[in-house]
A = this chain, B = another copy of it.
């Protein structure tokens, strides 16, 4: 009965990538824990880069610095 919540930045994740995330996370529960996929939920949350912070600054700011380098 696993529930997997995947939080990622909202930077153009395609529908195909979401399919792969759902399939892969579900298969991981089957392979490692022998769980029933029928009762395995995967929820993907896409978070705006303004709303995600690492090392005290937003990912928006980090991305700008990476481009400048």
Contacts and interface: CB of A to CB of B under 8 A. Distances in A.
Interface residues of A, number: 51
Nearest to A30: B56
Contacts of A21: 28, 32-33, 53
Contacts of A3: 3, 6-7, 41, 43
A20 to B, nearest CB: 5
A32 B45 CA distance: 15
A33 B17 contact: yes
Given A5-B5, A8-B1, A51-B45, A56 B26 contact: yes
Interface of A: 1-9, 13, 15, 17-29, 31-33, 35, 37-47, 50-61
